[in-house]
Every structure is written in structure tokens, then in C-alpha cells.
Amino acid sequence: MSKHPKDEVFEHDFDGIQEYDNELPGWWKKLFYLCIGFAVIYILHFHVLGTGDLSHTEYMKEYDPNYTEPLVEVSGGVFNRYTSPYLAREENITPRVQAELNNLLNAPFDEHMYRAMSKASPEQLEKLKAIFPEIYAQFESGAMAQPMQPATTSASIASTLTEPLTDASALLDGKKTFETQCFSCHGMKGEGGIGPNMTDEYWVHGSDMQSVLKTIYKGVPAKGMIAWEKTLSPEQIDNVASYILVKLVGSNPPNPKAPEGQKAE
């Protein structure tokens, strides 16, 4: 096209309105080309290469910093990503929410019952009590005061003690813990109740220091024994385990619960 000199009027005429045929200003054209360049980079970055997060992923990451975008199956070539992020992804749950759901689904039956009982109306609770008396007894005993711990993956415990502590201050601290945290299930004098008798020589989970420590650390969630590692410090657990083994075992409290488990050698 031939370049029109500045301020040359076009030949055409609309009802007496005429126009100049001027070049677009340089700043305008630069902006225009910049926009085209930006669009190309934008499309490559977000929709083709996938190096940038689309709004859906950005949202998920804000909700869960560990979210990783699932790989989308590519069926339509490089521009496949250029579909709505909502259509391209099947899931709309983050891994954290999924983990919580799995936890819930895999929880033992008792735990589901505890949840139900904690939300039940008095009449519903009566019915549940009639059908599941044992679970109700545990629920009522306050086993639920501490939410059940999900099974811990690591089986290791923080204490390496193989023999109980015998110094008076440790035993006194252990007694204090026992009489504030453990008595509700094991009895004030360790005679047993919901939990086993701590004064006889019979043990369900082993009588040596490490076994007792481990039971206290990890609990027996399915049976209503709480995992104490989150509530008590390692010293407190050392002390209460020592108190059980040194002071309670062999004592003869009134109203002892019948022995459970195997006799210690």
C-alpha cells in the first residue's frame, strides 16, 4: 500500500464526514505488538508448557501448600491444557482432605460409634447404649476426652530405658501422673477398672520396662488405651511406667480386677 503523506484526506465521504489517512502513532503500535508478544508467552507458560499454575491449581495450593497438580492425560496435543481447568481435572479434593477422608473411612468401628455418641441426642444415646453397651461404657468413661490417635507409622519411642527408675522424685512424679491421668481406667491404686489391673503379675502387652513404655507411648487405641506420647512428656512417661513397675506391681489393693494376659516370668 502506498504511504499517504500526513494529513491527506481520504477520497470517501460519509454524509459530508471525511477522514485523514494517518499512520497509527508509534507508541500505539508498540503497545499492540507488546500485547501480541505477551499473549504468546502467556499461552506457552500457562497452557502449553504448564510451567505456570492455572487458577484452579493456584487455589488448591493456597488451601493446601503440599498440593501437587495431578498429571492430566494428554489426548489432544500441546493445546490440550487449554481446556477449562475444571474439565481437565477429575478430582476436586486436595491430598490433605483425601487423607482425612481415608482416616475416617479406615477408623475402627468404635471410633465411629464414639463420634456418633458424642453427637447423639439423649434419646438416641439411650438407644445406642442399649445396643452397644461396651462401647457406651468406654464412651462414658471419658476415653473420648482424648480423640483417638490415628495409628502412628513409626513404632519407635523416645525412651531407651530398660529398667524402671527408682529414685524417689521420679516415682513421686509418676504417682502424680497416674493419679491424675490413669486412675479413671486403671483405678486409683492400680486395681484396674476399664483398663487392666496394674498390681498383679499378668500383662497383656509385656511386663518389661520397654514394653510398658511402648504401651503407654502408643496406646492400644482399638481397646480404649490412649496413646500418651502427645500428652505426656518422655520424662513423665518414664516416671509413670517406673511407678507402675516399682510401686504398683506386687501391691495388694482392695477390689482387684481379675488378671488379664500372661504371667510375667
Query: Which residues would be at the binding site for ligand HEC (CB under 6 A)?
Result: 141, 143, 177, 181-182, 184-186, 194-196, 203-205, 212, 215-216, 220, 223-226, 228, 240, 260-261
Q: 3-state SS string over the chain?
A: CCCCCCCCECCCCECCECCECCCCCHHHHHHHHHHHHHHHHHHHHHHHCCCCCCHHHHHHHHHCCCCCCCCCCCCCCHHHHCCCHHHHCCCCCCHHHHHHHHHHHHCCHHHHHHHHHHHCCHHHHHHHHHHCHHHHHHHHCCHHHCCCCCCCCCCCCCCCCCCCCCCHHHHHHHHHHHHHHHHHHHCCCCCCCCCCCCCCCEECCCCCHHHHHHHHHHCEHHHCECCCCCCCCHHHHHHHHHHHHHHHCCCCCCCCCCCCCEECC
Distance between alpha carbon 138 and the CA centroid of its chain, in Å?
24
Distance of closest approach, residue 166 Cβ to ligand HEC, in angstroms: 17
CB closer to ligand HEC, 136 vs 203: 203
Q: How many residues would you count in the chain?
A: 265
What Rg, from alpha-carbon coordinates, does the chain have?
36
Residue pair 207/201 in contact (Cβ under 8 Å)? The answer is yes
CB closer to ligand HEC, 199 vs 215: 215
Residue 265: CB atoms within 10 A of its CB come to: 6
Distance of closest approach, residue 247 Cβ to ligand HEC, in angstroms: 12
Distance of closest approach, residue 84 Cβ to ligand HEC, in angstroms: 51
CB closer to ligand HEC, 150 vs 261: 261
Distance of closest approach, residue 171 Cβ to ligand HEC, in angstroms: 13
CB closer to ligand HEC, 54 vs 113: 113
CB closer to ligand HEC, 60 vs 198: 198
Distance of closest approach, residue 96 Cβ to ligand HEC, in angstroms: 29
Distance of closest approach, residue 62 Cβ to ligand HEC, in angstroms: 39
CB closer to ligand HEC, 54 vs 200: 200
CB closer to ligand HEC, 107 vs 204: 204
Strand partners, 248: none
Distance of closest approach, residue 128 Cβ to ligand HEC, in angstroms: 18
